[in-house]
Amino acid sequence: MKTHRWTISFLVLVLLSLHPLLATRAAAAEEVAEGKGKRVVAKVGEDGVQRLEVLSGEYYFEPNHIVVQVDTPVELLVRKVDGFVPHNVIVQAPAAGIDFKVDVDDEVRPIRFTPTKTGRYEMYCDKSFLWFESHRAKGMEGIIEVVE
């Protein structure tokens, strides 16, 4: 029973120490939400690949609206920019040739695909901390728009 009480005390201490941290995070997420809607058209490089750097932070992607050409290879260079919170980037549109789920790291991680169908496809991070809402719900989402 004594061990049990210690466990509860420990958990309470952990939760108390996390509280200010969580409050700060929430404020940061709101700031980012205001700056949402950054739309970038990927440029085709000399090698015929549309290459674009995508930053992943708490809790956003930048840019969060990526425009690419259909039937042209894409390489997204995804990198984590702030904090220690783990993120991923997901697009599940196999009918359009875009289907990936990749964990994001401090190192650049290239994601390659060739979109085969025009349209708008959702991009998001499905990570969450314990029982808290997902990063997607906190604003970590975006769109890959495939155009002619």
List interacting residues with Cu ion (CB under 5 A).
87, 125, 127, 135, 140
Closer by beta carbon to Cu ion, 143 or else 146: 143
Closer by beta carbon to Cu ion, 50 or else 56: 56
Q: How far is the CB of 130 from Cu ion (least distance, A)?
A: 14
And the tokens for 36? 């949402």
Q: How far is the CB of 59 from Cu ion (least distance, A)?
A: 6
And the tokens for 61? 């992607």
Which three-class secondary structure state does DSSP give residue 73? Answer: coil
Q: How far is the CB of 127 from Cu ion (least distance, A)?
A: 4
Q: Are 68 and 142 in contact (CB under 8 A)?
A: no
Radius of gyration from C-alpha coordinates of the chain: 19
Closer by beta carbon to Cu ion, 25 or else 87: 87
DSSP code for 10: H
* Separation between Cα atoms, residue 132 and residue 129, nearest integer Å: 5
Closer by beta carbon to Cu ion, 25 or else 135: 135
